[in-house]
Amino acid sequence: MSMRVRDLQQYLGKFTENQKCTAISNCHIYIETMDGHLEEIRRIEIQENNIIGHPEPTRMVLKSESINRFRSKTYKQS
């Protein structure tokens, strides 16, 4: 099942207990690549689908930067 923006909002709200000033609020955001490296999220874009009537008219795209500093194997997998 795909994650939606509302799912992400709810998930992040659980981490921050719906407060704006928590330690986790200052964490950097990474994505894990297929080979186990972490890439830092640098930009978020909302993109529109040009196909009329498509079931997915818009999408949120997280843009990353390959830094290859970390391998996520040191982190607890969820």
User: Could you say which DSSP state residue 73 is in?
Assistant: G
Burial pattern 43-77, b for ≥16 Cβ within 10 A else e, equals: eeeeeeeeeeeeeeeeeeeeeeeeeeeeeeeeeee
Mean pLDDT of 17-46: 83
Mean pLDDT of 23-37: 83
User: Could you say which DSSP state residue 76 is in?
Assistant: P
Q: Which two tokens stand for residue 26?
A: 């200052």
User: Could you say which DSSP state residue 29 is in?
Assistant: -
Q: Where are the domains of the chain?
A: 5-74
pTM recorded for the entire structure: 0.63
Mean pLDDT of 57-63: 88
Mean pLDDT of 32-41: 86
Q: Is the pLDDT of residue 77 over 70?
A: no
